């Protein structure tokens, strides 16, 4: 039991002192471009419009058919509403808190 703890402590110390074997200097360059495209699509003008329309349609449907919605369909509508809200909130936070220049 103690030799396992000693081994992991020695490994952690070695990787902390010599980070090159840990490959800590690189990045995920092959995945960064597709992920940036997805994020830009979700938080861009098209994503903002789709999320506003999705929230409006879910809200209208929930207001009109509030007594008829039960079970899994209610969870599905709530899930779509939550996804639209998160996409819209991300684009709004980016537009509110993105500064282009020095803040005085």
Domain ranges of the chain: 44-97
> In the structure encoding, which two tokens stand for residue 46, read together?
């098209």
pTM of the model: 0.53
Residue 82's nearest CA partner among 60, 61, 51 is 51
User: Degrees (nearest 5) of the Cα angle 33, 35, 41?
Assistant: 105
Confirm if 76 and 54 have CB atoms less than 8 A apart.
no
CA atoms lying within 13 Å on the CB side of residue 46 = 6
Mean pLDDT of 16-43: 67
Q: Which pLDDT score, from 0 to 100, does residue 30 have?
A: 66
Q: Which pLDDT score, from 0 to 100, does residue 104 have?
A: 45
pLDDT at 97 over 80: no
101 vs 81, residue with greater confidence? 81
Query: Cα 2 vs. chain centroid, distance in angstroms?
Result: 40
């Amino acid at each position: 039991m103690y030799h396992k703890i000693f081994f992991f402590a020695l490994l952690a110390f070695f990787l902390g002192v010599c980070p090159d074997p840990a490959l800590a200097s690189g990045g995920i360059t092959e995945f960064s471009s597709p992920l940036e495209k997805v994020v830009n699509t979700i938080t861009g003008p098209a994503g903002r419009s789709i999320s506003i329309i999705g929230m409006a349609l879910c809200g209208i449907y929930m207001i009109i058919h509030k007594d008829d919605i039960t079970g899994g369909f209610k969870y599905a509508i709530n899930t779509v509403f939550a996804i639209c809200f998160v996409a819209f909130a991300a684009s709004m936070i980016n537009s509110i808190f993105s500064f282009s220049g020095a803040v005085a």
